[in-house]
Amino acid sequence: MVNKITISLMISLILIISISLVSAEFWACFDKGDKIDYCNPAIKDPTCSSSGGCERCMSVYNNTKNCYNQGNWNVCNTIGDICDKFGNGTIDQSPPEFTLKSPINKKVYDSRAILVEFSLDEKSSVYYIDNIYGKKGVRLCNNCYDYSRKVSFKEGFNNITFKAMDVLGNYVDIERTFIIDSKVPRIHKTEPRSGYASGDFYVQYSEDNVKGITIYYGNLETGFKQKELKNCSSGNKQWCFVSVDLKSYNNQKIEYYFIVKDVANNEKKSQIKKLNVDVVYPVLNNPKSFWKQGTGKDSKYIYFSLNITEDNLDKVSYTYEYRGMEKEKTLCSGSQQILCTKKVMFTPGNYSLNVQIIDEAGNAISYPVKFNVK
């Protein structure tokens, strides 16, 4: 008898609880533009966008905070199509909370396809506008809460405005600038290409965003060294120069190459070149008597006789200005030449020559020669 009473009480209690649960659910109505505020911060607060209004299943309305707790839709569907309005719907006049995680401002990317990632607190349509190339807005998503996909942008510097707009037209803009450098630098030439090196090196390259250029030089016997090049410009077919001390490698063979690096850390290595090292300048043994002018009828002739000490002579030449232009003439050439003699005729006039002795490594010395031919 006691057990039957106990069971009966439990059934009654379950029925009371069930009736209470059912009676707690209700339909809340909202007009277009009303923001539906939920008390639970984990639930996004949508805005009613339908011209016919919106219905939501609720369980509790908090008068103090003017917010709702979600109800059980299965229960709401059992209470009929009766819409009660608890609290006043507030018109959404605030832009969406737009959290743009990527692209990162002022970052350098090594690919044109970069991640665009963001989140929103309400359904919104999101666009981006290219502020440099003047494109119209490109839609990323429509009525979305979040987005995470790769989007292709232009090579080089980018200035992009991302716009998020909710269903009522409230919007927020976020501007981002970043650099895309997906192209590996190009190296066209390096100098010297062969023969001898004196310590002067050149590199020609194409790169729009140069970060750094380094030369590596040396050999296995004495080791390799490196040196950063200074003030190298960005652009197409640019030249940059560096001078290094090769005294410890004199009369030896060395190898050298350049590495060009851009701001995205893409890098290009030039071909390795092998050269002989000559850092000793030519010596003119008779600097006070290496030329003379003829006399009388022969005054139009200059007699050159240069006594030179140089193991790797390239040439002996002279330059002078003629009618506003610089001209160059060769007196002697050849790696074995140690005595350079030549007779040269000049037309009437005042002359100021610059005689140069150059070896195959580019080491050069020069001497002035002045005379008058009547």
Same domain, 202 and 245: yes
State what percent of residues in the chain have pLDDT above 70: 90
Question: Do 352 and 313 meet the contact criterion of CB atoms below 8 Å apart?
Answer: no
On average, the pLDDT of the chain sits at 87
Same domain, 174 and 192: no
The residues with which 366 forms a beta bridge, in sequence order, are 356
Mean pLDDT (whole number) for 105-118: 96
Asked whether residue 6 is assigned to any structural domain, the reply reads no
H/E run at residue 341: strand 339-345
The predicted structure's pLDDT at residue 336: 55
Asked whether residue 133 is assigned to any structural domain, the reply reads yes
Same domain, 161 and 144: yes
- Inform me whether the pLDDT recorded for 237 exceeds 90: yes
H/E run at residue 328: strand 325-333
Same domain, 210 and 167: no
Mean pLDDT (whole number) for 128-139: 89
Same domain, 155 and 194: no
Domain of residue 49: give its range.
23-91
Asked whether residue 167 is assigned to any structural domain, the reply reads yes
Q: What is the CA radius of gyration of the chain?
A: 43
- Inform me whether the pLDDT recorded for 77 exceeds 50: yes
Which pTM does this prediction carry? 0.65
Same domain, 201 and 263: yes
Mean pLDDT (whole number) for 124-146: 91
Pairing of strands 273-277, 349-359: unpaired
Question: Among residues 225, 258, 277, which one ends one of the domains?
Answer: 277
Q: 370 CB contacts (<8 Å, ≥6 apart)?
A: 350, 351, 352, 353
Same domain, 314 and 347: yes
Asked whether residue 86 is assigned to any structural domain, the reply reads yes
Question: Among residues 220, 254, 277, which one ends one of the domains?
Answer: 277
Asked whether residue 13 is assigned to any structural domain, the reply reads no
- Inform me whether the pLDDT recorded for 13 exceeds 60: no
Asked whether residue 18 is assigned to any structural domain, the reply reads no
pLDDT digits (tens, 9 = 90+) for 328-367: 999 998 755 689 999 999 999 999 999 999 999 999 999 9
The total number of structural domains that make up the chain: 4
Asked whether residue 12 is assigned to any structural domain, the reply reads no
Same domain, 230 and 153: no
Residue 154: CATH number of its domain:
2.60.40.10
Question: Among residues 129, 145, 180, which one ends one of the domains?
Answer: 180
Q: How far apart are CA 198 and CA 218, in angstroms?
A: 13
Q: What is the DSSP letter of 88?
A: P
- Inform me whether the pLDDT recorded for 265 exceeds 70: yes
Long-range CB contacts (within 8 A, 24+) of 92-95: 92/33, 92/34, 92/35, 92/47, 92/122, 92/166, 92/168, 92/170, 93/168, 93/170, 94/170, 95/164, 95/165, 95/166, 95/170, 95/171, 95/172
Same domain, 298 and 238: no
The predicted structure's pLDDT at residue 340: 93
Same domain, 136 and 213: no
H/E run at residue 2: helix 2-24
Question: Do 347 and 302 meet the contact criterion of CB atoms below 8 Å apart?
Answer: no
